[in-house]
Amino acid sequence: MARVFAVANQKGGVAKTTTVQTVGAALAELGEQVLLVDLDPQACLTFAVGLEPDSLSPTLHDVLLGRAKCADAIVTAGGMSILPANIELAGSEVHLLTRTGREHSLARALAAVRDDFDTVLLDCPPSLGVLTVNGLTASDHVLIPLQCEALSHRGVAQLLDTVEDVREFTNPALSVRGVIATMFDARVKHAHEVLDDVPGRFNITVLQPPVPKTVRFAEAPGRGRSILDHAPTSAGAAAYRAIAATLHADVSLDAPQEVVQ
């Protein structure tokens, strides 16, 4: 059964989508069967892997509303599988608010396909709303992309509060696997100060190495590719490959969580 990671930080612009796509691609290079799940109505992940969100049907929206099975909505792109989204997913939030057990909707949907994959990566929206809570409830572990500046740092504390709530009410087995430092500029003293503060302040691991800031990340989505294909020898690609290798080797993450029916 696949291990499931929620990639979350309610601060926007911290490279959540880039992290999901690139870690997923790197794990696929290592031989894993990878499923990406686009939980953001902006559908940036769906676009980044080379798909046109508005032309897709069914999508995650249809799955959450019970109009389609999860397996029927999954498509292949970039050497991985993806459960895509489009702007209709925003309507799912309103619908889920009226449902009993709404926090478990995604977990129930994924239960039918988890045996088909080694790793599932969820791209959570930049909020702490019902879609992000669904992602955390469906996951075994949380990965937190962190841009090393003050506002993103503050977002970590807020996310950890939400993780504690999810542990108490919907998913007691949820763990925080660690922080991934994104858009890291080693020349800036403040970036080092923020990153060095994380382990002591939050008691969570910083996965190594930091991912350096590079224009290559901005170029890749327009080509429907990850940086591993667009700039395979770049420092950014090397950093994500190293992080993926750590996750690939971490056998302690393999224990499946119990899905609430």
Domains located in the chain, CATH noted = 3-248 (3.40.50.300)
Counting residues of the chain whose pLDDT is more than 90, the rounded percentage is 69
pLDDT attached to residue 222: 76
Cis peptide before 256 (omega within 30 of 0): no
**pLDDT tens, 72-96?**
999 999 899 999 999 999 999 888 8
pLDDT attached to residue 149: 78
pLDDT attached to residue 78: 85
pTM summary value: 0.93
CA distances to 36, 48, 54, 90 from 86, in Å: 14, 13, 6, 8
pLDDT attached to residue 165: 95
Backbone angles phi, psi at 165, to 5 degrees: -65, -45
Burial of 115 (0-12, 13-18, 19+ CB in 10 A): exposed
**pLDDT tens, 189-215?**
988 988 898 899 999 999 999 999 888
Query: Please, what are the averages of pLDDT over each run of 10 residues along the chain (261 residues)?
Result: 94 92 97 97 95 96 95 95 96 86 95 97 93 96 89 80 95 96 90 89 94 85 86 94 96 50 43
The owner of tokens 């809570």 is 133
Q: Which residues of 212-231 are buried (b: 16+ CB within 10 A; e: fewer)?
A: bbbebbeebbeebbbbbebb
User: How far apart are the C-alpha atoms of 45 and 33, rounded to whole Å?
Assistant: 18
Residues in a beta bridge with 34: 119
